A = this chain, B = another copy of it.
Amino acid sequence: MRKNSDADLTIGRLSAEARVNIETIRYYERIGLMAKPPRSDAGRRLYDAAASRRLCFIRRARELGFSIEEIRALLGVSGGKGRCADVHALTIRHLGEVKRKIADLRKLERTLARTAERCARDASPDCPIIEALSEPRCGP
């Protein structure tokens, strides 16, 4: 059962361990984010502990909203090939994007709340929300 690289995790077990969908793992392999693992005689993928750790890294980074390409860069650094300053810069840029998204959504929230407030909420076909969306002036 032991292979030379200690790879004995099938994809299903890896999926459960790292909490990443099987199809997603195959996808990550396809796009090069995960290495092609050794196979059993039956052609089944066999993963080791290092692969599991890498997949967890990827999942955490995804959860933080980093894109696939950003994660590629992060993985580059995590191998000791990059610098902390680069990671920081990437994180700060990402943080800025998150802040911008929040600001946009806050604006949107306010507009929606204001509009909904004016709504009579009855069976009438007259509706201030629809009226607002139907403003005749549209062009510049």
Contact surface of A with B, Cβ cutoff 8 Å: 16-19, 52-53, 55-57, 59-61, 64-65, 74, 77-78, 80-85, 87-88, 91-92, 94-95, 98-99, 101-102, 105-106, 108-109, 111-113, 115-116, 119-127, 129-130, 132-136, 138-140
Contact = CB atoms under 8 A, between A and B. Distances in A.
B80 A125 contact: yes
Nearest to A113: B95
A116 to B, nearest CB: 5
A98 B91 contact: no
B64 A125 contact: no
A84 B122 contact: yes
Given A121-B88, A133-B57, A133-B78, A102 B95 contact: no
B112 A78 contact: no
Copies of this chain: 2
B84 A124 contact: yes
Name the 4 nearest CB pairs between A and B, nearest first.
A56-B138, A84-B127, A88-B119, A95-B112
A74 B122 CA distance: 15
Contacts of A125: 77, 80-84
Contact of A94 (B88, B94, B112): B112
Given A98-B105, A108-B98, A84 B119 contact: yes
